[in-house]
Structure 1
Amino acid sequence: MDIWTGRKEAKLNDPSDDEDGNRALEGLRVDSGVGVVVVEPQAGADESGSLEDLIPSGAPVYESYGRVKPPEEESGQFYSNLEYVKKGPGGTDLPFDEALEFLEDISHDIYYGEKIAENPDTVQALLCLMVQRGEEEEGEGEEPTTSDRDDATASPPPRNQQAASIVAAALQNNPPAARMVGDAWPSLMESTCTGPQGRGFPLRDGFYAPFAPLDPSARRDVPAAQVKARVGALSSLLRSPAVRDDFLASGGMDRLLEALTGAAGGGAWMGVQRKVGHLLLDHFLDEESGATKGLWPVFRASEPDAAKRKLGREADEKWIEAVRVVRERDGGNDGEHWSVAVLRELEGHHAAQLKGLPKEEL
């Protein structure tokens, strides 16, 4: 900057600034003159402004994940199967089941995952199917067969499990898809689903209803694979802040606690517990995994309402006890077991909040 005029100047090619010079250029003729370029500030610009001030008005928002390149030739079958799913099974069970199988395979592709998410009717159809219980799919009053109960041998998977897998794959590692579902979330939660018997029910009620066995003795009626797929879908849905906030406000964490405690006993249910643990780390506890800390656990010593403080403390203690049981039973001496990291975060948060409580509440 010229100290006399206050104007910005850029100095060009002054070899005298380098005492030694560039040995490779010795002997060459150089221009010893000094040139300057005057940089005139834009009209009305504030020299103390930030870089954001230099971004033109109306410029597109920068998105780190970039734009998904479409395939050279789109699958026409994809759009046909989307229509089958949106319409529901009705009397065309075979095409509907084939459509679910097709979407389950292709939803892992980021491009087609985004195409699934951009259509609220498709997302609603998948969510409505996901929240239906297995026996509701088969018909009211029908007893599930042995093969239906055994998730290791059931073929094909139940429709609610397939729908959950499609939702999980379409939104996983797909920020645009998660954003689209988040934008449509309020209207989705206000929509109504139609069950196989033609009876309607609010999607919100079905979404936040218990989906895991509330005690180990009931596990024979709910295959582990269905619960695991549901938790996987929730983990992908929670990538949207809108879904995450609604989930926390609507008691969704209670459903995950039920999945964790009802999955006791090892075997296939250990996969359910692991899925729940990774969800907690990825979304609420481990910042290195992309979690937003401070949203959950909910116990806060700074909460002015004593009743809410008590409820928050009790809720956190239930989680701590449940994870301790898993660690003692399955973790052993494995320091890499997911329960170790989860318990460390939960206990650390709980201890910090206890220090701030009034003495009469300790």
Structure 2
Amino acid sequence: MSLSTTTVEKRLLATAEHLNAPNKSQPTSVPWVHPHLEQGVVPIKGRQLRASQPIRQGELLMIDVPYALIPVVDDPASSDSLLCSNPTCSRQTQHGSGRMSCPSRCLADVVWCNSTCQEADELRHEFECTWLQRYAAPIRAKWGEYDFGMMWLIVRILASRHMERQQLSDTENQTNQRFKGGWDAIQSFCGSLDSWAHSQVRSWTALVKKYLRSSPVLPHDLSADEIVALICREEANSFGLYPRETGVYPVPEPPVDRGEQFAAAVYPRAAIANHSCSPNIMHKPDHHGRMVFTASRDIAAGEECCISYFDLSKRVDLKSRRDHLQGLFRFVCGCDRCSAEEPSEKESNWVGLPFLE
């Protein structure tokens, strides 16, 4: 019997909140990983998460801190879902609550919940501010919201890399030797030029050459080819952030969807999880943009720990699920559920016969 959505959400929030720093307004930026969760590598999938010992339903498995995060809202001026740009905060800011905008007015989507967060984020935002002033409006007008969001997320990844190099520390990686953190983790993401259609790679290459080259506007010291490769990895590994859990399975009746996306982010450790259409992990962001994994059923020792890459209440039949995954993530799902739902050879042959009159 599965936990109800309400029960799981309460437990998820409680376990996430106990890892907050003593200062309740700011969470700890240190990730947390269950001691029985380990990495593995398999020939077809590449990296995977698996249980080294049995894990019980409802146990917290991971809390990961985003390496880069952007808000995704339709009307930033009136939105109550706009996130604080300080990456150590990232909480939702309320319209009319005194949130702070960029003094240079680079982008309406860039806000901080208070002056303290704005001051703490000054150096990181300085990296992106000129780029946003120059390119945000023309990119949105010519290429649309999706491509702008993708490029802005890349810029924020580069900003985090810049800050990491400036600080000359490896504190995050030392936190948990079993799982890479920081720029090293981003570089180890799956996803290469060969994973995507040539037309898509050509389009990204054109965007990089026009908007993302290393320059005084965006001083990152990577080649255009390296930025294209970074986009290939980001597009295969970024997370959409939604207000309710992703991966509730079996889907409750009546179905409850995960709500409207309010942000997108890249997580160094959470990206290791592979997809299953019958996942044993649910994931949901907490109130500070951290991604929280929790076991949705008992997991046996040696079993792979999988999430769902999409809202299972929206795509139910085999064809819809496989088409979606192949279109966005470039693989044909062969999870236990999909394999079990494949038509038998006899049924496939019958479907292929012409109708008789």
Q: TM-score, normalised by structure 2?
A: 0.28
Name the one with the larger strand percent.
Answer: 2
**Rg bigger for which structure?**
1
Name the one with the larger helix percent.
Answer: 1
Q: Higher relative contact order at CA 8 Å, sep ≥6: structure 1 or structure 2?
A: 2
